[in-house]
Amino acid sequence: MRITIIGSGNIATHLAAAFKNAGHRIVQVYSRNMQNAALLAYHIKAEPIDDITNVDPETDLFVIAIKDDTIGLIAEQLAPYRKLMVHTSGATDLYTLLAFSDNVGVFYPLQTFSKTKEVDFRNVPLCIEAADENIAAELTALAQTISNKVYLIDSAKRKILHLAAVFACNFPNYLYTIAQQILAQHQLDFELLRPLILETAEKVQVGLPAAMQTGPAIRNDEVTMNNHLQLLKDTPHLQELYTLLSQDIIKLDKGPHGDK
């Protein structure tokens, strides 16, 4: 398939590479920043452009991988070409594209991406939605060329999935940052926590998170929790966060738990 990538960020970079590795041709890469477009285009042997009016009409698919608040604007400009058009957002409704064309869909990869870290796309869940069954079949076939995990998920459920992903990925990463800052303040290396983080992540690969919960809150260990709050006395916002999270953990309705 001939594919045009709209965007040059993390998702665009990884999707473009996955498509190319699967034998698809990337026709062009568009970015408002020509340097960014050129960098990605160089790696996937495509033409870089920084003017959306210069898109090559000889393409089969426009993949819109840009910030959510600009998807509609770009879709409106691409609609006159009458090509299949998808966005990659977890939080944006399909109707954002349907407002301009009926030849549209969603191609949402459920993964966290960084340009500096490779991802095995075969293990990335791809969530597909489409304006009709024929488009759904076409996008499913395309998705299966790069991933072994392809799902048909509508806009409403995709938004729930995206919300859950924020809790599962973005918030924990922020908590890792807090942990790193606490350690750094006391000349301790974040390296000490890496095995703990890895073990926690591996546990939820084989069981549900509630059953794997450990720590002072699930034990209702008030002495330890009060000691922690005292250590956070100079950062009231972290005290508040610690208390809120601990209270919610205490409310977990679960069976026997391990000690830590």
174-227 confidence digits (pLDDT tens): 999 999 999 999 999 999 999 999 999 999 999 999 999 999 999 999 999 999
Long-range pairs for 145-150: beta carbons < 8 A, 24 or more residues apart: 145/19, 145/22, 145/23, 145/24, 146/18, 146/19, 146/21, 146/22, 146/121, 146/122, 147/18, 147/109, 147/121, 147/122, 147/123, 148/122, 148/123, 149/123, 149/124, 149/125, 150/125, 150/126
Residues 135 and 84 sit within 8 Å (Cβ to Cβ): yes
Q: Which CATH number fits domain 159-250: 1.10.1040.20, 3.40.1160.10, 1.10.10.10, 3.40.50.300?
A: 1.10.1040.20
Is 159-250 the same fold as 2-153? no
Domain layout of the chain by residue ranges: 2-153, 159-250
User: Could you say which DSSP state residue 69 is in?
Assistant: G
Q: pLDDT tens digits, residue range 53-98?
A: 999 999 999 999 999 999 999 999 999 999 999 999 999 999 999 9
Model confidence at 115, in pLDDT bands (50, 70, 90)?
confident
2-153 is a CATH 3.40.50.720 domain? yes
- pLDDT above 90 covers what percent of the chain? 93
Average pLDDT of the segment spanning 93-107: 97
Residues 225, 201: Cα–Cα separation, whole Å: 23
Question: Which residues, listed in sequence order, are joined to residue 214 by a DSSP beta bridge?
Answer: none
Whole-prediction pTM: 0.88
Residue 117 has pLDDT above 90, yes or no: no
To 10 degrees, what angle do helices 10-21 and 34-44 make?
20
